[in-house]
């Protein structure tokens, strides 16, 4: 009996020591998926019901979009997005006029709520924290800073403030301001630019891609969501996509695509046959996770004057290594293509980048620098001399089309709209530049350059 007691005592002591040791040396708990910071309440407060019923009558288009949205299915109402948060400055002052009106049964004072005019990524982050964080790191969110760092139209005031508002800023975004009346300054609003600086300090507009008030995931997955900005002579990604095999397949089989797959689950081969813009640059595939940072997966900055690796792009250096990001994109490609096809494709793209840099851009830039050094071109403003415009279009138009066409498999843009036109732009530029150098003649300055009235001051809130 004593022997049995000793045995059980030893067993108990050993077990205790084992558990003590286990606790002492146990590894840290694994990283579990982040819990979404929201809750769904299956009830609608009277104030929110008043919003819905009032907008059903006054703005039926808004109501209809919301009613068909996933937000509506989850009982996420107007107030969940528009209710004023602490520190909000964009309180809709005119909205209070709707309360107390006898012709609006849901406009009684008891339903009165302060509403924020602008819904920002900060507001969206209450339910979508990961997406908002990823987006904040992207070139989309920071495009105002990038634009002001590289764009001579803004820095030299070569276009008017309203030309900027209706053109440049509609895609890039405005710096939202409050005017002297306490309302949103109409010079900065309305705007849904991808890099809009909001009054709460957040950057961007989720409705650039997920248009209000349906905020459709399916809409953002389609290439048409991107073509509002990525088109035209300087960055014709949508036209390039249309020419590519990806675009051809999309148009032939888009009725078979499952655009409504749950977020993070959209899968090549299962939900779609060929990728859209989102499929390559944002959606998950294989080991690659979904992201709202479109800066990822890039191995060259094809929109820059001189093509560089993303981490070497001075206006906005990427935080990751280009090889890591290329491997992510290759992984996306591997859902439909073999290794030899992928590697050979990148070999051709890299050669196109090298030829653009060495044959076209660098010699033209060196010649431009000589003209400035000799005083044959005036540095005071850009675009008021023809050679400045020719050099700009060489990289900003023809050069971009050549590089982007090669990257996105559009041979017509890589050659006829790209390198073919680069050749003529380059030879004409060099011919006129050499003529000025040989004759020591200064270039003609367009003294009456139209509408060069824009404020060249960099936005203080961006460059603080």
Whether residues 349 and 420 fall in one domain: yes
Residue 26: what pLDDT?
A: 41
The C-alpha torsion from 62 through 63 and 68 to 74, rounded to 10°, is: 110
| Assigned domain for 77 exists | yes
Looking up tokens 């991107």 gives 226
Cα distance between residue 68 and residue 70, in whole Å: 7
Whether residues 77 and 142 fall in one domain: no
Cα distance between residue 197 and residue 202, in whole Å: 6
Whether residues 111 and 134 fall in one domain: no
Whether residues 135 and 96 fall in one domain: no
| Assigned domain for 233 exists | no
| Assigned domain for 68 exists | yes
Whether residues 112 and 184 fall in one domain: no
Tokens linked to 370: 């000589």
Cα distance between residue 349 and residue 413, in whole Å: 13
DSSP string, 391-412: HHHIIIIIIHHHHHHHHTT-HH
Closest CA to 70 of 191, 218, 185: 218
Tokens linked to 159: 């276009």
Cα distance between residue 292 and residue 221, in whole Å: 12
Whether residues 106 and 133 fall in one domain: no
pLDDT (tens, 9 = 90+) of the chain, 464 residues, equals 444 343 444 444 444 444 444 344 444 444 444 555 555 556 789 999 999 999 998 899 999 999 999 999 999 999 999 999 888 888 898 888 888 887 888 888 889 999 999 999 999 999 999 999 999 999 999 999 999 999 999 999 999 999 999 999 999 999 999 999 889 999 999 999 999 999 999 999 999 999 999 999 999 999 999 999 999 999 999 999 999 999 999 999 999 999 999 999 999 999 999 999 999 999 999 999 999 999 999 999 999 999 999 999 999 999 999 999 999 999 999 999 999 999 999 999 999 999 999 999 999 999 999 999 999 999 999 999 999 999 999 999 999 999 999 999 999 999 999 999 999 999 999 999 999 999 999 999 999 999 999 999 999 999 98
| Assigned domain for 32 exists | no
Contacts of 252 (CB under 8 A, 6+ apart): none
Beta carbons of 48 and 78 less than 8 angstroms apart: yes
Our count of domains for the chain comes to 3
Beta carbons of 184 and 202 less than 8 angstroms apart: no
How many other C-beta atoms lie within 10 A of the C-beta of residue 24? Answer: 7
Whether residues 125 and 106 fall in one domain: no
Residue 27: what pLDDT?
A: 43
- Domain's final residue, options 117, 146, 168: 117
| Assigned domain for 163 exists | yes
- Domain's final residue, options 184, 215, 246: 215
Whether residues 125 and 203 fall in one domain: yes
Closest CA to 84 of 199, 213, 251, 248: 199
Whether residues 175 and 85 fall in one domain: no
Contacts of 461 (CB under 8 A, 6+ apart): 175, 197
3-state helix, strand, coil in the chain (%, to 5): 50, 5, 45
Q: Write out the residue range of the structural domain in which residue 81 sits.
A: 47-117
- Domain's final residue, options 117, 141, 171: 117
Looking up tokens 């591997």 gives 334
Whether residues 375 and 389 fall in one domain: yes
DSSP-derived 3-state class of residue 203: strand
Residue 98: what pLDDT?
A: 84
Whether residues 156 and 93 fall in one domain: no
Cα distance between residue 420 and residue 399, in whole Å: 10
Cα distance between residue 161 and residue 423, in whole Å: 34
Cα distance between residue 360 and residue 334, in whole Å: 33
Whether residues 89 and 108 fall in one domain: yes
Looking up tokens 């306490």 gives 182
| Assigned domain for 67 exists | yes
pTM confidence score: 0.87
Cα distance between residue 171 and residue 227, in whole Å: 11
Tokens linked to 178: 């409050």
Tokens linked to 134: 């990823």
């Amino acid at each position: 009996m004593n022997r049995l007691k000793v045995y059980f005592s030893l067993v108990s002591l050993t077990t205790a020591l084992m558990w003590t040791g286990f606790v002492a040396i146990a590894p840290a708990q694994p990283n579990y998926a982040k819990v979404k910071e929201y809750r769904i309440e299956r009830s609608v407060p009277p104030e929110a019901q008043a919003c819905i019923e009032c907008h059903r009558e006054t703005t039926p288009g808004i109501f209809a979009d919301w009613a068909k949205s996933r937000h509506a299915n989850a009982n996420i109402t107007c107030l969940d997005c528009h209710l004023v948060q602490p520190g909000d400055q964009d309180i809709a002052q005119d909205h209070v006029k709707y309360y107390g009106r006898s012709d609006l049964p849901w406009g009684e004072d008891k339903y009165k709520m302060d509403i924020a005019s602008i819904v920002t990524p900060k507001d969206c982050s209450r339910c979508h924290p990961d997406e908002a964080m990823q987006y904040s790191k992207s070139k989309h969110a920071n495009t105002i800073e990038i634009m002001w760092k590289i764009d001579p139209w803004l820095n030299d005031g070569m276009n008017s403030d309203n030309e900027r508002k209706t053109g440049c800023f509609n895609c890039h975004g405005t710096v939202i301001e409050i005017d002297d009346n306490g309302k949103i300054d109409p010079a900065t609003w309305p705007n849904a630019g991808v890099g809009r600086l909001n009054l709460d300090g957040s950057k961007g507009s989720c409705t650039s891609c997920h248009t209000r008030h349906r905020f459709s995931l399916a809409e953002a997955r389609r290439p048409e969501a991107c073509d509002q900005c990525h088109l035209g002579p300087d960055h014709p990604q949508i036209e390039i996509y249309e020419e590519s095999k990806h675009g051809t397949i999309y148009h032939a089989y888009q009725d078979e695509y499952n655009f409504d797959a749950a977020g993070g689950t959209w899968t090549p081969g299962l939900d779609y046959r060929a990728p859209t813009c989102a499929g390559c640059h944002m959606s998950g595939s294989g080991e690659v996770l979904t992201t709202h940072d479109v800066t990822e997966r890039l191995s060259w900055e094809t929109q820059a004057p001189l093509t560089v690796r993303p981490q070497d792009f001075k206006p906005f250096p990427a935080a990751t290594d280009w090889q890591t990001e290329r491997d992510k994109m290759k992984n996306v490609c591997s859902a439909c293509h073999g290794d030899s096809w992928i590697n050979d494709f990148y070999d051709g793209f890299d050669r196109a980048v090298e030829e653009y840099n060495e044959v076209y851009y660098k010699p033209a830039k060196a010649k431009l620098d000589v003209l400035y050094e000799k005083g044959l071109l005036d540095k005071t403003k850009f675009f008021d001399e023809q050679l400045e415009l020719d050099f700009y279009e060489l990289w900003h138009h023809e050069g971009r089309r050549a590089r982007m066409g090669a990257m996105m498999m559009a041979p017509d843009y890589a050659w006829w709209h790209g390198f073919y036109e680069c050749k003529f732009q380059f030879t004409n530029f060099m011919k006129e530049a050499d003529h000025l150098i040989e004759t020591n003649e200064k270039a003609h300055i367009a003294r009456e350059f139209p509408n060069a009235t824009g404020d060249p001051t960099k936005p203080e809130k961006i460059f603080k």
